[in-house]
Amino acid sequence: MDEEVTNDSEPVRVGIVGAGNRGQNHANRYERIPGANVAAVADVDEPKARELAEKHGAASYASHDAMLESADLDAVNVCVHATLHADITVDALDAGAAVFCEKPMADSYAAARRMADAAERTGNALAVQNQLLYAKETRAAKALVDAGELGEVYHGVAARSPGFAFDASGNPDVVQLGARRRGTPYVDGYGSPAFVREETAGGGVVLDLGSYTVGQLLYLLSPSDEGSATTAKPPAVERVRGETFQIAPERFSEDGDDPEVGENAGYARRIAESGYDVEDVAVAFVTFADGSVLSIRTNWSRHLAGESSALAGTEGGVRLDPFEFFSTAGDVEMRASADLEEYLFRQQYLDGERGRRAYDEGLWADPLYHWVESLRGHRETLPTAELGLESMVIAEGIYRSAELGREVTREEVVSAADDAARNATDDATGNTDDDAE
């Protein structure tokens, strides 16, 4: 693989690992992105890899190792279950490729830190999927924060925010992310059982929807050097208190009825056959080292209307869904709406021909577009890996706090990751405690 990722005269040659739903979706989106070329597809399901590769004129491989060994790639797109993210990402970075990884970054903070360490060690770019970072609401809120219109931001709420789902052609459709009234993977008819099994997903809604809104709020709470969003450094987590709940099995199991009869029979059957063992509701409170705090509400299914994500500062506040700005002017309490489409139009057209094309073709919403543009040298990318890593501190903090029934510190999460790293090293070298003695 090339020492330099690419240049503007050559397309970015992308290898996709995972030919399932996400891999297919990403491959279709690359077809719309100038300068992107799907060059290879890898999947342990060889017929599936071959089918996707043939559709896009790419080579197919039965493993990511074989792809990294044989294919001439600039970048790798990881589209497999979270429990596999770290190993594949580290291998790809070590092979000289830039990596774009689906969310969540990994299934644990220890695994995510391995990925971040590999990116730092190799000098190769690592990005983590979060389309909320490119939403109009996020961009406008960040502009207000960086302009000082909110004063000192002391409280964030990660709940529900407008984002995107990309259809089979790569076109963005607006969806609500973070907190759903109802929409449990597989149980409610979409997705596979792997989404609701810890063995494959690593966790439930905390990692699935929570990774979107937590990453978004970390970004909005991040101070930007000289007003540049690309330099935003997320605030450091200090403490986390969280609780998780599993609601769906009880919701669809009424009075101990036979799961094969009654109006909930289909849902109960899907819960049973999926091996459903993850949380579907989580509530948490995070304290950062700078004294600011973050409230978190994330759920696949909850008997309440969604609560909007928001920011509160000493001079103003922002609600993201619907977008509203709160402040005081002339001793009058103001509650203002905004023309976000006009704002987006101006921002994109200020970016010249590339920005105009991105606006006209709907590419501005796609994280893959921004990633490819950064690899081609046209723009600096947002710090998605840094945001993803700090999000994993919070996610693991929620799980540990819920298990222990108390607040946990950053040091506890990091210490557990250190232990995991030492154990992995010992396993790899064959060292044991007995050997050390």
Tens of pLDDT along 61-70? 999 999 999 9
Q: In whole angstroms, how large is the CA radius of gyration of the chain?
A: 22
Residue 384 has pLDDT above 80, yes or no: yes
Q: Where are the alpha helices (DSSP H) in 77-171?
A: 85-94, 109-122, 136-146
How far apart are alpha carbons 162 and 84 in whole angstroms? Answer: 28
pLDDT at 5: 45
Q: Which of 321, 349, 375 is at the close of a domain?
A: 375
Residue 392 lies in a domain: no
Average pLDDT over residues 247-274: 78
Same domain for 198 and 85? no
**Residue 434 domain boundaries:** 410-437
The CATH code of the domain that includes 138 is 3.30.360.10
The CATH code of the domain that includes 61 is 3.40.50.720
Residue 385 lies in a domain: no
Same domain for 73 and 145? no
Residue 430 has pLDDT above 80, yes or no: no
Q: Where are the alpha helices (DSSP H) in 223-321?
A: 248-251, 265-274
Average pLDDT for the chain:
91
Question: Does the global pTM surpass 0.85?
Answer: yes
pLDDT band at 228, cuts 50/70/90? low
Omega within 30 of 0 (cis) for the link into 223: no
Residue 384 lies in a domain: no
Pull the structure tokens for residue 306.
């969604």
pLDDT band at 257, cuts 50/70/90? low
**What's the DSSP call for residue 227?**
G
Same domain for 419 and 328? no
Pull the structure tokens for residue 111.
């695994």
pLDDT at 425: 66
Number of structural domains (the chain) is 3
Strands (E), 54-205: 59-61, 75-78, 98-101, 126-128, 153-158, 161-166, 172-177
Residue 4 has pLDDT above 50, yes or no: no
pLDDT at 328: 97
Residue 426 lies in a domain: yes
